Structure 1
């Protein structure tokens, strides 16, 4: 089996282990963030692939979907769920911005390494900074939608 398939398979136990870092009192928030992230990545992921900006040469469900099921429908939503559950809302704006920058940068660096050394992703008309911006916007939009969902009628 190719190394790419091992990497794809390893994302599932790693993602499941990450879920144990979500505090029990934030599970509902994490589930909502997970589902909102799936919605966002479903729409944007398919558009990006269909426009020929990215390609996923090695992926699960290749005959059904040209996007990366593992990343866009599982791993990124799990990370976003953790992001929202652990978000430092009572801290300074600088800490909150650093939180966005840290999560987004780690995911972007990982993608750059996967693009360079594996066949999991190939940039066609895409650059790393586009990934950084889109992941950061996904985190931000998911955060806003999750807060709205639990706002009890208050306008943000």
Structure 2
């Protein structure tokens, strides 16, 4: 159980370090959009897969008495939303379509490999009826859908000089 606690603490620390290192100060406000929108998506999706019994998180950040549900708070509200920030901030918008797909595949692949390692060697995550390729495709789908939402959201924003009434 000590290794699982270290994994949880490491994931939170990694999330903070990634934001500190890769989110420029002038993009901090922009980073909240993918963070909050992805948190909403993963909360619902994570709750669904846990309640269906497909995946479980035996060791949690909070004790069972202090938890509302069995989904992973660390994954759904720290690590995955931070990944969405980085995905959207560095998305290769001006590149060709195959570069965009490769970008999404790499992001999803790294996340999937990390989860499979955790599932294999720790008690942080347990695949009950889940398969690694479901993680890969769902992460890619959610990141791309979330990025499209970010683009749509930013279209509705006016430059800061035009916001006075």
Q: Is the 8 A contact 1:21 1:82 kept in 2?
A: yes
Match of 1:8 in 2: 8
Task: Work out the CA distance in 2 between the residues paired with 1:17 and 1:24.
Answer: 14
Question: Which of 105, 108, 112 is the matching residue for 1:108?
Answer: 112
Unaligned runs of 5+ in 2: 158-165
Matches within 5 A, 1:53-92: 53-63=54-64, 64=67, 65-92=69-96
Task: Work out the CA distance in 1 between the residues paired with 2:28 and 2:146.
Answer: 15
Deviation at 1:71, TM superposition (A): 0.8
Provide the alpha-carbon RMSD of the alignment.
1.4
| TM-score, with length taken from structure 2 | 0.88
Deviation at 1:7, TM superposition (A): 1.0
Matched, 1:36 2:37: yes
Q: Is the 8 A contact 1:27 1:85 kept in 2?
A: no
Unaligned runs of 5+ in 1: none
Match of 1:48 in 2: 49
Instruction: Return closer, same or farther for 1:136/1:42 CA change in 2, 3 Å cut-off.
Output: same
Runs of 4+ that moved beyond 2 A: 23-29
Deviation at 1:95, TM superposition (A): 1.1
Q: Is the 8 A contact 1:56 1:120 kept in 2?
A: yes
| TM-score, with length taken from structure 1 | 0.93
Q: Deviations over 1:111-153 (max 9, x none)?
A: 0100000000111111001011110111011101111111128
Equivalences, count: 153
